[in-house]
Amino acid sequence: MEDFFLRALGGGIGAALAAGPVGCFVVWRRMAYFGAALAHAVLLGIALGFLLDIEPILAVFAVCALLAGCLTLLERQRYLSVDALLGVLAHAFFAAGLAAVAFMERLRVDLIGYLFGDILAVSAADLWLIFLTAAVVVAVIAWQWRNLLSLAVDPDLAAVEGVPVERVRLLLLFLVAAVIAVGMKIVGMLLVVALVIVPAAAARRLAATPEGMAVAATAIGIVAVVAGLFGSLQWDVPAGPAIVLVASAIFAASLLVPVRGGRSRG
Amino acid sequence: MISASSGDPLHAPPLVAARGVSLNFGRRTVLDRVDLVVHAGEIVTLVGLNGAGKSTLVRAILGIIRPDSGEVVRAPGLRIGYTPQHILRDPIMPMTVRRFLTLGAPASRQKLDAMLDEVGAGGVIDDPLADLSGGELQRVLLARAMLREPGLLVLDEPLAGVDLTSQSELYRLIATIRDRYGCGVLLVSHDLHLVMAATDTVVCLNGHVCCTGRPQAVLRDPGFISLYGPHLSDTLAVYRHLHDHRHDALGEPLTMEPGAPEEAAPPADRP
């Protein structure tokens, strides 16, 4: 097997490891629109990365974290709902990204790769960064699992039980930002939300506990990456869309599975 | 700390005391200089119409929101068991009763089974949370709160979504738990009938504290009558009267002066 293909496999699996558990929280806390807003901010991150000569993944993470911070500050006012705030932030960041890209001749050539993902161009350095990010994300989730889960079940109950709710909420936003930054390298900014949400959605009916759903989502993500990449090689389909198509097919198949843990007594 | 040796728990320092708590949302005053005190072994029920600020007051007492003025003082080391009004239990998250209970406080299978039996929800331990009936869910929430071995139980609308027969059972269960563990109970309720039957102190909230005291006294309070109307007040007085007979048969006083010793003063030493 070619090296570029092995690197692509490695990068995709790394992204799926982080996206599985984080995707579950995105589904549980109804943060899909937040994920979409972050995806809009990716372009500005890439532009700034080129401008300041920083790794694109790091620059994208920084811009996504900035958006998360803005959202947290804006949430303190009571006159606009979160989805309206996200609509404002997403498009302000996206417009800034488009304006920045217009100044950069070289980036415009590469833009298609960032829009649709270019997993086959994952470099050895990218691979390290992806695995480092995935390791940090998974470690933080494992460490904060109880707090994160309590927050997802009921924020008030969590607060009474001593969970530092505001800090955990911000932490989750940063975790999603990290996954978006890694995922855009794999499937591109237009499909990166799918990498987060589809495996988690597909895992719902296969699991009886939150922990089971996180593990199942990760496994489904890895299967989608591997099958998608081989499919892409076989039928000459772009890799990003192939991965998302496999994940979506698994989701469709999961609808046929009866929900586990249903009550057996009358 | 509150100890049994201090005698009448109502003269011991309160578990929690809200003093002069005011809170505004924008220009709207939600809470206006509200006082509320809960002692060990006491059931305090917060009543009031929708929008009276009941849930806001509860959140301030729990320390989730900070009042604009006034203070909430909790006894040192006080552990609170809380049951929220609306819990996320839509099927988005797979969650069994067992996992839900251990999320609050890790506990052995025996301990979980014993607590579920105690609240009358034995046998649901492996069921998904989303499949429970309203009454079962309230019992499971109560079990989770009790597993924390709380000094104070705060129950926000525990009777919402529970059918009528289960409502009075639940109310009796709350009183039993109070008697057995000696914890204080702060209850938010819409259902005045049941409130009047099994509460030590009623606090009627309408932004400010409209009236407070023993259930019978509150029923005759002009503030309560103007809020709920004379008809309801009369109806409830009948309920109260019927209930007096039951208490009478148990050898307990038929009427009590506000501030008189607690009729069901339990031993107040808690785990």
Please tell me which residue of chain A has the smallest CA distance to B104: A161
Q: How many CB pairs under 8 A join A and B?
A: 72
Higher pLDDT, A254 or B269: A254
Q: Is the distance from CB of B101 to CB of B117 less than 8 angstroms?
A: no
CB contact (8 A) between residue B87 and residue A157: yes
Residue B241 pLDDT greater than 70, yes or no? no
Closest in B62, B82, B99 to A209, CB measured: B99
Determine whether A197 is exposed, middle or buried from the number of CB atoms within 10 Å of its CB (0-12, 13-18, 19+). buried
Whole-model pTM: value is 0.83
CATH of domain B9-254: 3.40.50.300
Alpha-carbon span A95 to B142, nearest angstrom: 50
| pLDDT for res B44 | 92
- Which tokens in the block code for residue B161? 């979504």
Higher pLDDT, B21 or A144: A144
Average pLDDT over residues B21-49: 87
CB contact (8 A) between residue A213 and residue B88: no
Average pLDDT over residues A4-21: 94
The residue whose two tokens read 């299978």 is B109
Q: Is the distance from CB of A180 to CB of A42 less than 8 angstroms?
A: yes
Residue B232, amino acid: L
Angle between helices B97-104 and B109-118 (to 10 degrees): 100
ipTM associated with this complex? 0.84
Taking contacts as CB-CB distances below 8 angstroms, the residues of chain A near B62 are 156, 159-160
Closest in A150, A261, A265 to B94, CB measured: A261
Residue B271, amino acid: P
B153 in helix, strand or coil? Answer: strand
Tens digits of residue pLDDT in B168-190: 888 888 888 988 898 999 999 87
Residue A66 pLDDT greater than 80, yes or no? yes
Domain boundaries, chain B: 9-254
pLDDT above 70 coverage of chain B, percent: 77
**Chain A contacts to B (CB-CB under 8 A):** 27-28, 30, 78, 146, 149-150, 152-154, 156-157, 159-161, 204, 207-213, 259-263, 265
Tens digits of residue pLDDT in A240-250: 999 999 999 99
Residue B253 pLDDT greater than 60, yes or no? no
Closest in A146, A154, A263 to B127, CB measured: A263
Tell me the pLDDT band of A38, cut-offs 50, 70 and 90. very high
Taking contacts as CB-CB distances below 8 angstroms, the residues of chain A near B128 are 208, 261-263
CA distance A128 to chain B (A): 33
Please tell me which residue of chain A has the smallest CA distance to B86: A154
CA angle (A211 as vertex; A208, A212 as ends), nearest 5 = 45
